[in-house]
């Protein structure tokens, strides 16, 4: 009985520290990302994912870092992970559509853009612009 009470007490004492660490790593990552310190930001987002493996925003920022570093495979991997966690993440869908377009995958880009158009709230204008770009490039 004493062990059970002690275990519960320890959990309640450590839980706030764990929750604080989660947001602390993510926030530090955002700050470093905004300062264009991509390697340091990458490390913070990875630390956040150790504690919170379903944080779609950490994966999204990792994809942005890999975009800056021109590591397309890693960018795509992280965008797909975001979409697995949240299939309605507009920014991830848009960024993956742009990535596919840059890789001359016009059909893949077009399909993702259609998907985005069905759910868009914040990225509707970019979706419209991407549609025009897809059409223009696929004609060449």
DSSP code of residue 29: H
pLDDT of residue 3: 61
pLDDT of residue 20: 44
**pTM score, two decimals?**
0.81
Q: What is 18-86's CATH number?
A: 1.25.40.10
pLDDT digit string (tens) for 2-39? 665 545 555 555 544 444 445 799 999 999 999 999 99
What is the crossing angle of helices 56-68 and 72-85, to 10°?
Answer: 160
pLDDT digit string (tens) for 113-132? 999 999 989 999 999 998 98
* Residues of each domain in the chain carrying CATH 1.25.40.10: 18-86
pLDDT of residue 5: 58
Contact 71, 102 (CB under 8 A): no
Task: Tell me what the mean pLDDT of segment 99-115 comes to.
Answer: 95
pLDDT digit string (tens) for 36-79? 999 999 999 999 999 999 999 999 999 999 999 999 999 999 99
């Amino acid at each position: 009985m004493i062990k059970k009470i002690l275990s519960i007490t320890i959990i309640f004492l450590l839980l706030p520290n764990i929750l604080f660490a989660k947001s602390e790593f993510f926030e530090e990552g955002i700050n470093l990302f905004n300062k264009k310190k991509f390697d340091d930001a990458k490390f913070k987002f990875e630390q956040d994912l150790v504690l919170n493996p379903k944080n779609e925003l950490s994966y999204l920022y990792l994809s942005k870092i890999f975009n800056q570093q021109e590591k397309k495979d890693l960018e795509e991997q992280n965008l797909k992970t975001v979409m697995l966690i949240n299939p309605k993440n507009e920014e991830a869908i848009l960024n993956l559509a742009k990535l596919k377009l840059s890789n001359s995958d016009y059909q893949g880009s077009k399909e993702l853009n259609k998907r985005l158009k069905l759910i868009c709230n914040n990225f509707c204008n970019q979706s419209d612009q991407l549609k025009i770009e897809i059409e223009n490039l696929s004609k060449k």
